[in-house]
């Protein structure tokens, strides 16, 4: 049995949570493979809205097993808050959520270091979510990290050692802080974590595959935030791309089946960094208002712009995308004209290939298409697509070279149109 991977192709917030929830009935296991509570994955159904940060988005669909993989970084305090919220809304978790022993823990001091690093960068700050993601992955790579499995073994001493190292760094940075409340919540979070099964998730997932159980891997962030291939240094600290599913879960590249690449019919970004098609005018504001483009974790307004096909083609290439999923088509319902960036003029030269540096001297070259001027939220099937909308899809498919399998026309689970079935 192969595993399918669903991942973001832009700068995150493409709608991954919604689609994982929609796809989950077809799978036995849903596994998160990277990132942490910097993610905010929104799901809406039965008139309710949920935002998940570390818990996979398959958690609401019956008795499916959800796994937090080794590539994830977990903050016990935020994890407890998420668990408490889901439990209070009547969703049982303990039986169906398993956690890799190899997942790294975000310490309270990691959050402080994140803030200190950002403060030291001044105007050049990344605009992180402030959840301690960078410092935790730094400790992982420099072999100083604390893992979920450590909770079972001499934990207090290991915690004290890591904390002492971080406090030295915080003092060097002259960063003022008070750990009391943060630590209290964190240790309460550790007690909450202990209620869940810690597993060797690589064995668990590979056994499931051997037993012919279908597995879906859920990505966080998006390809343009990948630490290797994104708009470095304005990226997150993990591999958000398809290869991240292999390292973040312990599955072989040979096991990858379908790769679902998800994108918005336009483009957004939150935090600092280059964004060639960004709009600073009324059109961008309409996208923000219609799309409710405010961060689901931080509440920050998201920057909005036209779809960038140069960046999308790059993301499709890096991930080996087999099928595309287009989200939030309804947000552009009222536009007379829609623009799609098909090439860049980079340092005076026209290129269709994504360049090394998109920070300076990038001018997007656009193709203009007619808008559909139809309320897409009411559309139930492809046969009801307006002609101009169908033309937009045909244009994108021809330019990107991959078919669009799903079209999403609203935030609700039910507002999803499947255009063809995948074998």
**Closest C-alpha to 80, from 159, 186, 183:** 186
270 contacts ligand IMO (rule: CB under 6 A): yes
Task: Out of 4, 21, 28, 41, pick the active-site residue.
Answer: 41
Specify whether 330 is catalytic. no
Task: Determine whether 130 is exposed, middle or buried from the number of CB atoms within 10 Å of its CB (0-12, 13-18, 19+).
Answer: middle
Is 410 near ligand GDP (CB under 6 A)? yes
Residue 265 exposed, middle or buried by CB count within 10 Å (0-12, 13-18, 19+): buried
CA-to-CA dists, residue 388 to 139, 189, 393, 394, 407, angstroms: 50, 51, 9, 10, 15
* Residue 127 in the binding site for ligand IMO (CB under 6 A): yes
Rule CB under 6 A: say whether 72 interacts with ligand GDP: no
Shortest spacing between CB 53 and ligand IMO, in angstroms: 8
Ranked by CB distance to ligand GDP, the top (closest) residue is: 42
Total of chain residues touching ligand GDP, rule CB under 6 A: 24
Q: Which of residues 389-408 bind ligand GDP (CB under 6 A)?
A: 408
- Choosing from 14, 226, 308, 323, the residue that interacts with ligand GDP (CB under 6 A) is 14
By CB under 6 A, tell whether 327 contacts ligand GDP.
Answer: yes
- Of the candidate spans 15-23, 76-84, 141-149, 163-171, the one that interacts with ligand GDP by CB under 6 A turns out to be 15-23
The separation between CA 206 and the C-alpha centre of its own chain, rounded to angstroms, equals 24
Q: Which does 225 bind (CB under 5 to 8 A by kind): Mg ion, ligand IMO, ligand GDP, none?
A: ligand IMO
Binding mask 2-31 for ligand IMO (x = CB under 6 A): ------x--xxx------------------
Of 17, 71, 244, 248, which one interacts with ligand GDP (CB under 6 A)?
17
**DSSP-assigned states of every residue in 159-179:** HHHHHHHHHHHHHHTT-----
HSE, side-chain direction, 13 A CA sphere, residue 349: 6
223 near ligand GDP, judged by CB under 6 A: no
Nearest of 12, 3, 64 to residue 296 by alpha carbon: 12
Give the three-class secondary structure for 374: coil
Instruction: For residue 338, give both structure tokens.
Output: 């829609």
Applying CB under 6 A, what is the total number of residues that bind ligand IMO?
A: 25
Distance CA 374, CA 392 (A): 13
Stretch (H or E) spanning 155: helix 155-172
Residues that bind Mg ion (CB under 5 A): 13, 40, 296
Choose which of 5, 10, 11, 15 interacts with ligand GDP (CB under 6 A).
15
CB of 412 to ligand GDP, least distance (A): 8
For helices 155-172 and 108-121, the axis angle rounded to 10 degrees is: 20
- List residues near ligand IMO by CB under 6 A: 8, 11-13, 35, 38-41, 126-129, 131, 133-134, 220-222, 225, 234, 236-237, 270-271
Active site residues: 13, 41
């Amino acid at each position: 049995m192969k595993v399918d991977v669903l991942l973001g192709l832009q700068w995150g917030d493409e709608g991954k949570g919604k689609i994982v929830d929609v796809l989950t009935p077809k799978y036995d296991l849903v596994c998160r493979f990277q990132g942490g509570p910097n993610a905010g994955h929104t799901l809406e159904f039965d008139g309710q809205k949920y935002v998940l940060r570390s818990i996979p988005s398959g958690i609401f669909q019956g008795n499916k097993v959800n796994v937090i993989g080794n590539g994830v970084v977990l903050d016990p305090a935020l994890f407890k808050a998420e668990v408490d919220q889901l439990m209070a809304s009547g969703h049982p978790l303990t039986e169906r959520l398993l956690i890799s022993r190899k997942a790294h823990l975000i310490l309270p001091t990691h959050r402080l270091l994140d803030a200190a690093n950002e403060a030291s960068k001044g105007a050049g700050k990344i605009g992180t979510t402030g959840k301690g993601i960078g410092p935790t992955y730094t400790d992982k790579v420099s072999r100083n990290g604390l893992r979920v499995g450590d909770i079972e073994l001499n934990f207090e001493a290991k915690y004290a050692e890591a904390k002492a190292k971080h406090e030295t760094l915080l003092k060097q940075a002259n960063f003022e802080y008070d750990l009391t409340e943060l630590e209290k919540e964190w240790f309460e979070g550790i007690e909450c974590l202990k209620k869940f099964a810690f597993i060797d998730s690589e064995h668990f997932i590979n056994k499931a595959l051997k037993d012919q159980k279908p597995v879906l891997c859920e990505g966080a962030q998006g390809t343009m935030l990948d630490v290797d291939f994104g708009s470095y240094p304005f990226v997150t600290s993990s591999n958000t791309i398809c290869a991240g599913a292999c390292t973040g879960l312990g599955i072989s590249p040979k096991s990858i089946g379908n790769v679902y690449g998800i994108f918005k019919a336009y483009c957004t970004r939150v935090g600092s960094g280059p964004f060639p098609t960004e709009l600073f005018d009324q059109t961008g504001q309409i996208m923000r208002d219609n799309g409710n483009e405010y961060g689901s974790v931080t509440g920050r307004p998201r920057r909005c712009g036209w779809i960038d096909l140069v960046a999308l083609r790059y993301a499709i290439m890096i991930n080996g995308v087999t099928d595309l999923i287009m989200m939030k088509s309804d947000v552009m319902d009222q536009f007379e004209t829609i623009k799609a960036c098909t090439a860049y003029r980079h340092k005076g030269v026209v290129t269709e290939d994504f360049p090394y540096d998109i920070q300076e001297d990038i001018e997007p070259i656009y193709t203009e298409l007619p808008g559909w001027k139809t309320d897409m939220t009411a559309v139930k099937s492809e046969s009801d697509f307006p002609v101009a909308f169908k033309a937009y899809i045909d244009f994108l498919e021809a330019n990107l070279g991959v078919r669009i399998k799903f079209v999403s026309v609203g935030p609700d689970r039910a507002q999803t149109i499947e255009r063809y079935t995948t074998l």
